[in-house]
Structure 1
Amino acid sequence: MPEVHFTLRWPDGAEERCYSPSTAIKRHLDAGKTYPLDELLDRVRTGLSEASDRVAAKYGFACSSAMDQLARIEARARAFEGGEDASVLCTRIEG
């Protein structure tokens, strides 16, 4: 299963390289697009859950790395909740 890395630029300018175990995330994020924080979280939750489900269908177990990545993104996002310009840029998608 081809893995994918995607990079997010948070409202404070910091960039984070993220992991997905499959290309499913590509249906939910576009490189170069900025998302309001809540929308980004919805898209990442859906995409990484789909990716984990694809791993489960193929190998018989969910992908803990996808769920760990989701937890890290959700934790990082909490720092920006309620912020005036709480939007996140997906700078690139590789894979």
Structure 2
Amino acid sequence: MPEMTVDVCWPDGRTESLYSPSLVVHDHLVPGRAYSVRDFTRRTTLALETASERVRERYGFACTSAQATIEQVTTSAAAYDADEVVLVTRMWPPLPAETTQQEASA
């Protein structure tokens, strides 16, 4: 399964890299887009639960790293008001269509 990282900037300017065992996060977040802390936490949790389930289907056990990332996001999010803004600064690797768009704009 392809792994990925999501880089975010929290409301106070702190940056953090998040791990996912699956590219499914691309179905829930968009690089360059801002989300409320509440929405970001919800979207990230849903994406990582889906990613963990994909690992379970393939290997027979859930992904503890995905659960650890959910806990990381939840802990970080607790420091902010629910309506403050989190910016998704980078998602790596990008989906193939995103790679083509980035190369065209360069």
Q: TM-score normalised by the shorter chain: which range applies? A: over 0.9
Which residue is 1:23 aligned to?
A: 23
Write the distance in 2 (CA, Å) between the matches of 1:93 and 1:73.
15
Give 3-state SS (helix, strand or coil) of 2:2's partner: coil
- Structure 1 unaligned spans of 5+: none
2:90 counterpart of 1:89: no
Identity within the alignment, % = 39
Q: Deviations over 1:36-93 (max 9, x none)?
A: 11110110011000000000000000000000011011001000025xx611000000
TM-score normalised over the length of structure 2? 0.85
Which structure has more relative contact order (CA 8 Å, sep 6+)? It is 1
1:4-19 equivalences in 2 (<5 Å): 4-19=4-19
- Structure 2 unaligned spans of 5+: 94-106
Write the distance in 2 (CA, Å) between the matches of 1:14 and 1:41.
16
Which is greater in Rg? Answer: 2
